[in-house]
Each structure stands twice: as C-alpha cells, then as structure tokens.
Amino acid sequence: MTFQITPIKACQLKLPGGKLMDLSRPVVMGILNITPDSFYAASRYKADTQTIADIAGEMLKDGAKMIDVGGYSTRPQAKEISIEEEIDRVLPVIETIRKHFSDAVISIDTFRSKVGKEAVKAGATIINDIAGGNLDADMFQTVADLDVPYILMHSRGNPETMTNLNQYNDLMIDIISELQKKVFELRQAGVKDIIIDPGFGFAKGPKQGFEMMRKLTAFQVLDLPLLVGISRKSMIYKTLGISANEALNGTTALNMMALMQGASILRVHDVKEAVETVKLFEATYLPQYS
C-alpha cells in the first residue's frame, strides 16, 4: 500500500516590521496560557516575569517558531472575563517575551479586537481568533488596519454555548462553506495573510473531530496554510478513556496524521515532542529538509 502525502501550503507570512516567516515546511506553535481554568492544568502559567521568560525560552530552545499567548480560557463552558482583565493578563507576558526574545513570533489568542490591538502594540505579531470574527464585529477591520497575519478558526457560538451548536447537514461542506465566507469578508476588509484552523473541539464532538481529521485534505480548497490544534483535547482523552494529563501520546499520533495531510502549523502544549514529530515526518517524506 502506498500512502498519498499531501504537501503543505507553502507561503511567507508578512509580520510587523516587514519580517517574513517561511511556511514552506511545518512549524510548531507553543501554547502559553495565562488563565486559571484552561482545560489542561499543566498549561496554566503564572504571569511573573521570570516564569514567563523561562517558559518562553524553553519553548524556543525546543524548536517552537511561534508562541501563542492566551488570557481567556475558551474551553467549553468557560466563564467570561472582562476585556480589561484579559488585557491585564496578556500584555505583561507579551512585553516580557519581546524583551527577552526580540525576534520571537508571538501570537495573541483572543476573539476581541481591542485585546488584539493592544497586544500588537505590545509586541504580538499574529492574531489568533477562535471565534472567526463571530464575537466581535470590529475584528476583521482591526486586523486589516494592523496589517498582521490572522488565524481564522471555525467555531460557532461562544465558549458557553458552542457544545450545543454541533449540528451539521454535512460536516465538511458546512465548515468549509462557513470558512470560505469569512475568507471573502477578510479579503474585502484588506487582510492579506490568513491561516485556517478547522477548530477541533469547537462546536464539534469527538466523532466529528475524527471525521474532520480523516478528511483534512478537503481544506486545501481554501488555498491557505492550515493550523491544527488537537493538543490533549477531549477527542483524544475521551476516546482513550484517560485524562488530558495522559494524552501526549495520542496528541503525537494525531499530529503526525495532520502533517501527512498538509498541516503547516501544529499548535501544542508540548513543543519538544511536536518538533520531534515534525523532524521524523520530514525525514520520512521530506528528505530534502532532514
């Protein structure tokens, strides 16, 4: 049997200051949550300067090409916090990373345009919106005005309601159609660099997540780089009957499947293991990079 490996969507992201980020080969994004209630307890960090510098430094040393900073837990049933509290959580973290690692590519994980704007002022270089613009009407124009890359994730509702919004006529057709509409709106607003995130676990149950993983190549129709974030999510630990703390092996297995189907970015809690997965993928299927 011969497996068909799907090439990633190669491109260069234009970052603030004119810097370009090459996505001709897969990269890893490390998750840095400044929240007390993220679903994976080990990813919750305190925002003291030394801890943040140490964590970010370790991620970069292990091979992360991006660090995704979040101050608002978006797990199902997560409670809302104010814009001010979210800003107070993330800005010192972004400023600390930028101070210690001037070339770091920092993504701000937020669905609020005001948080995104303040984060970019503080040194963030990408906006990662889990709501795909659905929860803030100003988000698309803000991204265009800031001229930063935008991660468009598919979701429905908000963290408190999304688990009840997972009904689809045809899972892949509906998701791609909804994303396609958003891509058009972003282009109309003037956003140049867009990355697609299918949104594993957001308005999708475990079975739907595995269907999406099987059909991941369908997102190529959008002709945009693909980010996959399945790190330690419920589709893994519920299927295996374990906890999120025990879901690293399952995460690694699905990350490899995602790479084989064209994922450009792996968003993960465990950077070292994900980077090793990318290296083994490249050694097997992209020997010119190994």
Question: Residue 43 has what pLDDT?
Answer: 47
Q: Which residue has the tokens 């064209």?
A: 262
Helix (H) or strand (E) holding 19: none
| Run means of pLDDT, 10 residues per run, the chain, 290 residues | 68 90 95 71 62 94 98 75 94 96 97 98 97 96 98 92 93 98 98 97 96 97 97 96 97 98 97 98 87
Q: Say which amino acid occupies 76.
A: P
Integer angstrom CA distances of residue 206 from 160, 166, 168, 180, 236: 18, 11, 14, 23, 8
Q: Where are the alpha helices (DSSP H) in the chain?
A: 49-62, 83-100, 113-122, 139-146, 171-189, 206-214, 234-240, 248-260, 271-285
What are the b/e assignments for 145-160, b being 16+ CB within 10 Å? ebebbbbbbbbbbbbe
User: CB 97: neighbour CB atoms within 10 A?
Assistant: 26
Question: Residue 77 has what pLDDT?
Answer: 62
Question: Residue 46 has what pLDDT?
Answer: 58
User: pTM for the complete prediction?
Assistant: 0.94
Four-way CATH pick for 26-285: 1.10.3210.10, 3.90.550.10, 3.20.20.20, 3.60.15.10 = 3.20.20.20
- Kindly list the domain boundaries of the chain, sorted by start residue: 26-285
Question: Residue 160 has what pLDDT?
Answer: 81
Active site residues: 233, 267
- DSSP letter, residue 246: G
Question: Residue 40 has what pLDDT?
Answer: 43
Smallest Cα–Cα separation from 252: which of 224, 228, 286? Answer: 228
